[in-house]
Amino acid sequence: MKFLEESLIALDVDIDTPEGAIRETGKLLSASHLVEESYVDAMVKSFNENGPYFVLAPNIALPHARPEDGVHEAAVSFVRLKNPVKFGHASNDPVQLVFGLGASSSDEHLTVLQRLMGLLGNPDNVEKLLHVKTHEEINQMIGGN
């Protein structure tokens, strides 16, 4: 399980489309060999087919695909966009915090989701994520890896 490790985080990325933002979170996962490149394509395909339902809360998106699309290990990456981007969600747009989920079929899948919920379920943490400057600050919020 890899949860918001330094190599999986990119802050203030200058991208202005939902597809670009989704690909960026996927690229962080594939560069660390946690998912196949086919998985990144599947993340974009899911957005094109099912719409922006994965914009789970105001400002927060969780793009992902299926384990069978090519996941090696349960993981979450994080891209903070330099400027908020509209995903087309009726109530939660625009989005600045994008978490790429490598959805695994193992028990770790539930564990990474619970860790993510622990982090994002607290509005103070969401506010902090908009302003953190380093990975260390994020690491403190998630209690280390």
Partner 1 sequence: MKILCVCGLGQGTSLILRINVETVLRQLGVQADVENTDVSSASSENPDLIVTSNELAQSLEGHASKIVIVNNYFDTNEIKTALEEHFNN
- Catalytic residue numbers, as ranges: 64
* Cβ 131 to partner 1 shortest distance, Å: 19
CB of 10 to partner 1, least distance (A): 20
HEC string of 4-57 equals CCHHHEEEEECCCCHHHHHHHHHHHHHHCCCECHHHHHHHHHHHHHHCCCCCCE
Which CB, 31 or 117, lies closer to partner 1?
117
**Could you list the residues that contact partner 1 (CB under 8 A)?**
46, 49-54, 56-58, 60, 62, 64-67, 89-92, 101, 103, 109-110, 113-114, 116-117, 120-121
**Identity of the residue, 30 or 39, whose beta carbon is nearer to partner 1 in the bound complex:** 39
Q: Which is nearer to partner 1, 82 or 121 (CB)?
A: 121
**Which distant-in-sequence residues (6+ apart) come within 8 Å of 76 by Cβ?**
2, 3, 4, 8, 99, 100, 101, 102, 112, 115, 116
